[in-house]
Amino acid sequence: MVQGTASSVGKSIVTSALCRLFRQEGLSVAPFKAQNMALNAYVTADGGEIGRAQAVQAQAAGIAPTVDMNPILLKPEGHSRSQVIVMGRPIGSIGAADYHTRKPDLRDVVLQSLERLRAAHDIVVIEGAGSPAEVNLKDRDLVNMFVATAADCKVILVGDIDRGGVFAAFVGTLELLEPDERARVGAFLINKFRGDLTLLEPGLRFLEARTAVPVLGVLPYLPDLRIADEDSVSLDERARRRRAREDEIEIAVVRFPLTSNHDDFLPLESERGVVVRFVERAGDLEGADLVVLPGSKSTTTDLRWLRERGIAEAIVARARRGGLVLGVCGGCQMLGGRIDDPDAVESGDRAAEGLGLLSVTTRFSPHKRTTQVRARPLTATFLSAAGSGEATGYEIHMGRLERAEGSAGPFVIHSRNAAATSDVDGAVSPDGAVVGTMIHGLFDNADVRRVLLATLRRRKGLSPVDPATEPAPPADEFDRLAAMLRERIDLSLLHRLCEP
């Protein structure tokens, strides 16, 4: 099991690395996280919703994601409330205090999922959440030492040295654990180290002597890792990125307070000559080649924020000038007309007016659509051209679009969860400058990226990218992680920690 001294210390990435390492050793491996709190989600093949991190870890393990890998997902809605998803299905919006009282009833759900994974695989890599030393929450723990005890496994405790105070964090965490919990900590793992390792050695020896717990290894800081990060903390660094040069494309993604699935844009960030910035001010849209309104956990709440910040006005003015604007899921709904939420499914706002740039209206209902989709281009847009291939992705939304008669959409969805359909997706403005889609994961498709970037370069007066000059495809990031792990940790100690 991988636990951490705090949130955002790198537990998810370490878990992914371990999944790939064990897979390379010929083992059948699966990830598991009992309870996840994240606005980045993924849809499994049977339509269940899980945290994006567990889908990524399943990819590292070489298996299809299932709801057992993340039986409980909390999607924050602000004001100490979250939508609670159990075994892939929402059970309602619940306040923090109320959910805390319900936790004991969910323990059987957690244990049953874990048992199914253990029965199906040689090894399960379990990820904790936050810190196991949060003493105010320990009596109703669902995700840290409760799971370690149930699995009867050793714990690798990860600490982030880049934020400082890692030795105090390790020692303090152990100090706050009960004796039986402390005995489960089999090793420390220091993450995000920059500098001369020899200068760290005295601290490592002190830590081992003080705690009698060995150090598994020291992992380096890895910039520009091309693996989706579920934590919105990663957006802080992405928001500080430089502006694009004259020979580069700049894509400005509006960072809502309740942005969801920000990992949609990670494939674009990895493209040569592209700068993707997450912005929160109207002035930051100026000069961008494309402005994106991403997904949102509360469409009307984030729409109100857009207006308060003056961003809504700036986007409308941009569209009127022919500047390109893209809306994804909640962003697509915002670009349309009226938004009705009569049952207060997403927020207390029963109705709101959108930006009026697309000929669609939205109506929320208690039923959530979570599907994997296959789609074909319907209209030539800056996302798709004549002859473009099939695109895959997934839908996660409770609002349904109603399209004005005669209005176009960018794609037609011909398959949902492997069932045939023929639904038009999203909407396109008459001049083609504004496109809305309800499909997440579109930029994982090479054809979609190719058409978009070619359009943006042409509009900026840049020559097309010559495929012959393109660098070789990057190496598999999970293989890169596993190789780094092999170089930096004590593999014999790792294997001993995994023994029954």
CB-based contact 174:213 (threshold 8 Å): yes
Dihedral Cα 168, 170, 173, 179, nearest 10 deg: -120
Q: What is the token pair recorded at 334? A: 């915002």
For residues 443 and 366, give the distance between their C-alpha atoms in angstroms, rounded to a whole number: 29
Burial of 55 (0-12, 13-18, 19+ CB in 10 A): buried
The secondary structure element, H or E, covering residue 304 is helix 299-308
The SS3 assignment for 362 reads strand
| Residue 319, CA distances (Å) to 183, 252, 396 in order | 60, 14, 26
Closest CA to 22 of 485, 500, 490, 475: 485
Q: Cα angle at 439 between 435 and 445, to 5 degrees?
A: 95
DSSP labels for 401-470? EEEPTT-B-SEEEEEETTEEEEEEESEE-TTSSEEEE--BTGGGSHHHHHHHHHHHHHHTTPPPPPGGGS
Q: Which amino acid is at 90?
A: P
Cβ partners under 8 Å of residue 170, min gap 6: 5, 157, 159, 188, 207, 211
Strands 155-160 and 2-4, how do they pair? parallel
φ/ψ of residue 362, rounded to 5: -125, 140
For residues 424 and 432, give the distance between their C-alpha atoms in angstroms, rounded to a whole number: 16
Strands 155-160 and 72-78, how do they pair? unpaired
Q: What is the token pair recorded at 200? A: 């760290």
Tell me whether residue 329 is one of the annotated catalytic residues: yes
Q: Which entry of 19, 153, 329, 332 is annotated as an active-site residue?
A: 329
The SS3 assignment for 22 reads helix
Q: Cα angle at 186 between 180 and 190, to 5 degrees?
A: 125
| Residue 249, CA distances (Å) to 224, 302, 466, 473 in order | 18, 26, 16, 20
φ/ψ of residue 423, rounded to 5: -95, 135
Tell me whether residue 153 is one of the annotated catalytic residues: no
| Residue 49, CA distances (Å) to 327, 395, 403 in order | 22, 10, 26
Closest CA to 401 of 393, 409, 391: 409
Q: Which amino acid is at 349?
A: D
Half-sphere exposure of 195 (CA within 13 A, CB side): 10
Q: At what angle do helices 477-488 and 52-61 cross, to 10 degrees?
A: 80
Q: What is the token pair recorded at 159? A: 């600490």
Q: Which entry of 121, 262, 397, 440 is annotated as an active-site residue?
A: 440
Q: What is the token pair recorded at 163? A: 């934020």
Annotated catalytic sites, by residue? 329, 440
